[in-house]
Amino acid sequence: MRPSKNIEKLIKDVNIDTNAKMDNAVLVDVLEALENSKKKGPAIAQPSIWGIIMKSRITKITTAAVIIIVVMVGLYHYTGSFHGTTAAFATSDVITAMKQVQWTHATTQWIDHNNVPVDKLKNWDGLEFWQSIDPYRTISIGSSGDIEFTELNSEKVYDPKNNTITITSPHYPEKDPPASMQEIWLDCVSDLEKSGAKVEYSDSVYGDRPAKIIKVDYTKESGWHEEITIIVDAETHLAREFMVYQKTTKGESGTMLMLIDYPPTGPKDIYEAGAPHDAEVKVIDNLDEGK
Amino acid sequence: MIEDKLLVWKFKSGNNDALCRIYEKYKDNLLRLATALLNETAASEDIVHDVFVSFAETAEKLKLSGNLKSYLSTCVANRVRNWNRARQRQTTTNLNEAESVVSNTKRPEQWIVENEQLRQLNNALAQLSYEQREAISLHLQGGMKFREIAEFQDVSTSTIQSRYRYGLDRLRSLLDNEAKL
């Protein structure tokens, strides 16, 4: 095959890697730089997860996924330290329950600082979110009907304004696929365990099922305040409702309410997620020429 | 993407492991990008090194609005531009040194090419205009969208798409000519 046949792939796959000598030199220097950064001036900021969600101009999918993670992390963290008296909420039960989930589905509602329900808050208009781990698939549906459908090798975006579906190139190289929810969840537990949040547990009923309510009151040194309420099914140990009230150091506040369910299946393609079949399909950024 | 958000969050909290993971995750991509833009191995390694040290120093102030890979790719591209400017100044002030730089860039052992095809590719890339090379490298190796590259180069998205396509056409032509020889 002539090299020009697939130039994009050739450039993308060019095999140039760092060597051990360079890795050692860089890692020594960057860790020293980070240590110096910690020693200098004020302490490094301790951003809250909710702060990242609210303040970042990140994609809806990422935002929604982070929120789901927060639910899981919250469960692990706050139930994980609650051994003994309520055996039903042992950490192992929660982990087991989460591992058995194939699909997570969530819908969100937003309440602004005036306590009025709104379609969206600043930087966020995701209304509905789906995720499955195997196969990896996330779907986000926005308030204007826009849909983002992401799999390991492609991202499809439906734009209702132009009635188009745009397919873009892979986000994750094969050697480095996105981490599973459980991996991420377990990975950040150790960090959150140091958070020092105030936690209260109470028994309740959700629908017609017994439930546990976990309330987390969390104030940063900076004054950033969050109140997180998680309602968990007492039998399945899965989160069903998740509410976050947040007030920034500048006094700005807002509330997000997320209702979560765990259906046995979800949308298999962007059309099942709601995109019309007559939408024009555009392929851009694809690695293989000629498609 | 999800992992990156959490890595950045942990990194900003001063977590060493998160910083190491970010380096491990993107070091090869960034080195390939720098090499494609510079065609010089040693300088490319220095640039990647400097980018990560600066990144570590800015943990407290870092405000990441886009994705991490694009951010780091932009840092590499900026440093390459600075490096090129510095080299141009050297070239105009010292002709002897300038010649030495040119000969260095043509020394085969510095290209780290694994086979003939890659050698041809590097040669061809070096013959593109810098804007075209930057558009192609940032898109394919930096993983940046045309819109992001347009912002970086301060031109319209359609201009970037043109640079990208014309650049690829030129590469195709150059590589076909080499193959015929």
Whether A280 contacts chain B with CB within 8 A: no
d(Cα B15, Cα B24) in Å, to the nearest integer? 15
Q: Where do you find CATH 1.10.10.10 in chain B?
A: 113-181
Say what the pTM is: 0.51
Task: Check CB contact under 8 Å for A27 and B121.
Answer: no
Task: Check CB contact under 8 Å for A2 and B19.
Answer: no
Residue from the list B19, B53, B140 with its beta carbon closest to the beta carbon of A12:
B140
Whether A139 contacts chain B with CB within 8 A: no
Neighbours of A29 (CB within 10 A): 15
Task: Check CB contact under 8 Å for A11 and B121.
Answer: yes
Percent over 90 (pLDDT), chain A:
9
Give domain limits for chain A: 49-283
Question: pLDDT digit string (tens) for A12-46?
Answer: 777 777 888 888 889 888 888 888 877 664 444 43
d(Cα B164, Cα A50) in Å, to the nearest integer? 38
Confidence of residue B2 (pLDDT cuts 50, 70, 90): low
Q: Could you tell me where the DSSP H helices lie in A40-167?
A: 49-55, 60-80, 91-99
Task: Check CB contact under 8 Å for A285 and B176.
Answer: no
The CATH class, in words, for B113-181 is mainly alpha
Q: Is the pLDDT of residue B113 over 70?
A: no
Task: Check CB contact under 8 Å for A11 and B48.
Answer: no
Instruction: Give the gap in angstroms from C-alpha B154 to the nearest C-alpha of chain A.
Output: 20
**Residue from A58, A109, A55 nearest A256 by CA:** A109
Task: Check CB contact under 8 Å for A4 and B176.
Answer: yes
Q: What's the CATH code, domain B1-112?
A: 1.10.1740.10
Cβ within 8 Å of B, A 156-195: 168, 171, 176, 178-179, 184, 187-188, 191
Structurally, at CATH architecture level, domain A49-283 sits in Clam (2.50)
Most confidently predicted of A151-155, B56-60, B69-73: B69-73
Tokens coding A195: 């958070």
Residues of chain A neighbouring B118 (CB-CB closer than 8 A): 14-15
Question: pLDDT digit string (tens) for A83-139?
Answer: 333 333 444 555 556 666 778 888 877 777 777 776 655 545 557 888 776 677 878
Instruction: Give the gap in angstroms from C-alpha B131 to the nearest C-alpha of chain A.
Output: 16
> What's the pLDDT score for residue A167?
87
Q: Where do you find CATH 1.10.1740.10 in chain B?
A: 1-112
Tokens coding B132: 């075209």
SS3 state at A251: coil
The position carrying tokens 């990144």 is: B55
Q: Is the pLDDT of residue A171 over 60?
A: no
Q: Which of A167-181, A209-223, B115-129 has the lowest mean pLDDT?
A: A167-181
Peptide bond into A42 cis (omega under 30): no
Residue type at position A1: M
Residue from the list B2, B48, B56 with its beta carbon closest to the beta carbon of A178:
B2
Which residue has better confidence, B20 or A194? B20
Residue type at position A40: K
Question: pLDDT digit string (tens) for A218-248?
Answer: 666 666 677 778 787 877 777 788 777 777 6
d(Cα B158, Cα A173) in Å, to the nearest integer? 27
Q: Is the pLDDT of residue A289 over 50?
A: no
Task: Check CB contact under 8 Å for A16 and B112.
Answer: yes
